[in-house]
Amino acid sequence: MQSLKKQEKVPQAHSDSGRLTLVTPEETNNLRTSTSAISAFRRILSRISSSAICLYLSLFVAINLLVVRYEHEISQERAHNLMTDTLSESNGTTTFDRSVGEATQEYWGLIPDGRSGRLAILLGMSQTYSINDRQNGDLALPDLLHENLGKIGVESFGLLAPNLANEEALFLFLATLTNPKTKPKALIFGACFDKFRNVDLRPGYQRFMSSLPGTSALWSEVSARYRTSHPEATSKMVRTLQEIQTATIEDEGFEGRVRDAVSRVIPIVRARKQLQGDALNKLYELRNRVFRIKTSSKRPMLASRYLMNKQFVEILIAEAQRNGVKLIFYVNPLNPQGENPYVAEEYEEFKQWMANVASSSGISFANFESIVPAADWGMWLDGPDFKHFKAAGHRILSEAITKRFEDDFREIAEGVQK
């Protein structure tokens, strides 16, 4: 057993070997002989004031002062990134989640009462709410739909966010089903091809899911229901839920409260989300510059993600039909003069798939790809914006939706009258 004895021992206590040994024997003895805790503290304070730590603390304070000075600008920058600075002006009636996924819970109560049987929910990405070259009085799609459908007798509300992924669309839809007050009679969904590269729920929706009773249970139930038929998407749903539940424990526990308290005292902690968004945006810009990436640079589909996204859409369709919700699908308009980042064959396959799914499921479908003329699109970064149109484009799309699916909307309104 002696052979088990270690040949080399790690540094013993107070030995002067090892890279972290900074205490001189003299200092150690001095400290050891000191019996007074107060004198030890004084000693430490005097060392702090004459060392790099003092500089470190001073710099940290200076950075926090800078954050306080530029907090407003940082918030504006974030609003610009989320495209919320291009929102239509609120004319008294809130027609969509104006936090665009950042604080959906604050807008949830503004959804018209679904128990009337006349509620239509619009799901969509930034195209639906962002107005390119916005002028005073311009209205966006959810405002215009609210007006148009209101004339028919249908109330609408938009659950919109930049880059809304299909997993998020499914989540928002399931969230509306958890309460008769928010359960819609119709769901209008503008499918966007490049969003089939995205997965995950953004932090705002994650927080919302954990705050909304019943949504997690329904999410879990739905993932179990389609486990065999849609394995990729449902596995992702399980992972998303696990992630949210872990995060919820942290947020609601002691650490969450400590974090809140710290953020009230330290400005950089308070502004961390805005700063993170800003920093990531700068990194994207750097990436674009280094790799010469443009908005039109081709972005091929990612096979596994594409499959997962198709499955999310199929689950959305199946759940809508299961719950008696009328589905209205359309393919998003694209700028005819702006070069898009799609690989042509992949995009054609996508449109065909959408049409096939709609026809086999018996849901209302239209391809609005070319309905907005070139003149009604604006500019973005390095050229024509292929995704966001001006106010006129919003009006055209709103009218197209109203007219093309008029029978569906009238059916909803008449169903109530009967």
Of 68, 217, 279, 379, the one binding other proteins by CB under 8 A = 279
Taking Cα atoms as reference points, which of 187, 215, 216 lies closest to residue 329?
187
Shortest distance, CB of residue 95 to other proteins, whole angstroms? 32
| Minimum gap (Å) between residue 126 Cβ and other proteins | 18
Under rule CB under 8 A, residue 344 binds other proteins: no
CA distance 410 to 49: 76
Between 291 and 407, whose beta carbon lies closer to other proteins?
291
- For residue 11, state whether it binds other proteins (rule: CB under 8 A): yes
CA 187 – CA 325 distance, rounded (Å): 7
What whole-number distance in Å separates Cα of residue 234 and Cα of residue 315? Answer: 9
Q: Which of 90, 116, 245, 304 binds other proteins (CB under 8 A)?
A: 304
Non-local (6+) Cβ contacts of 25 within 8 A are 16
* Residue 227, Cβ density class (10 Å: 0-12 exposed, 13-18 middle, ≥19 buried): middle
Q: Is 381 in the site for other proteins (CB under 8 A)?
A: no
Q: Shortest gap between Cβ of 30 and other proteins (angstroms)?
A: 9
Q: How many CA atoms lie within 13 A of 248 on its CB side?
A: 15
Ranges within 14-53 binding other proteins (CB under 8 A): 14-15, 18, 20, 22-23, 27-28, 31-32, 34, 37, 40-41, 43-44, 47-48, 51-53
Determine, following the binding rule CB under 8 A, whether residue 264 of this chain makes contact with other proteins. no
Segment 185 to 224, residues that bind other proteins, using CB under 8 A: 197, 199
Closest CB to other proteins among residues 80, 259: 259
From 68-76, 263-271, 324-332, 372-380, give the range in contact with other proteins by CB under 8 A: 263-271
Q: Does 346 bind other proteins (CB under 8 A)?
A: no
Say how far apart CA 84 and CA 161 lie, in whole Å.
10
Instruction: Report angle CA 78, 79, 83 to the nearest 5 degrees.
Output: 120
d(CA 171, CA 385): 29
Q: Figure out which of the listed residues 303, 344, 382, 407 binds other proteins, where binding follows CB under 8 A.
A: 303
Binders of other proteins in range 223-262 (CB under 8 A): 231-232, 234-236, 238-239, 246-247, 250-251, 254-255, 258-259, 262
Residue 299 binding other proteins, by CB under 8 A:
yes
Count of alpha carbons within 13 angstroms of residue 366, beta-carbon side: 16
- Binding to other proteins in span 122-181, by CB under 8 A: none
Is position 5 an interface residue for other proteins (rule: CB under 8 A)?
yes
Shortest CB 184 distance to other proteins, Å: 30
Q: Which is nearer to other proteins, 59 or 416 (CB)?
A: 59
Considering only 4-12, 95-103, 320-328, 384-392, which stretch makes contact with other proteins by CB under 8 A?
4-12
Q: With binding defined as CB under 8 A, does residue 351 bind other proteins?
A: no
Helix, coil or strand: residue 377: strand
Task: With beta carbons less than 8 A apart as the criterion, state whether 182 and 175 touch.
Answer: yes
Question: Least distance in Å: CB of 225 to other proteins?
Answer: 16
Asked whether 128 and 154 are in contact (CB, 8 A), the reply is: no
Q: Does 375 bind other proteins (CB under 8 A)?
A: no
Nearer to other proteins, 281 or 323 (CB): 281
Residue 93 found at the interface with other proteins (CB under 8 A): no
Sign of the Cα torsion 264, 265, 267, 270 reads: negative
CB of 267 to other proteins, least distance (A): 10
Q: Please give the single-letter amino acid code of residue 229.
A: S
Binding of other proteins by 349 (CB under 8 A): no
Assess contact for 226 and 218: CB atoms under 8 A.
no
Q: How far is CA 165 from CA 172, 312, 331, in A?
A: 11, 9, 15
Helix axes 254-265, 231-252, angle to 10 degrees: 70
Non-local (6+) Cβ contacts of 294 within 8 A are 288, 381, 382, 383
Contacts of other proteins in 48-87 (CB under 8 A)? 48, 51-53, 55-56, 58-60, 63
Q: What is the DSSP letter of 97?
A: -
Instruction: Determine the size of the site formed for other proteins (CB under 8 A).
Output: 72
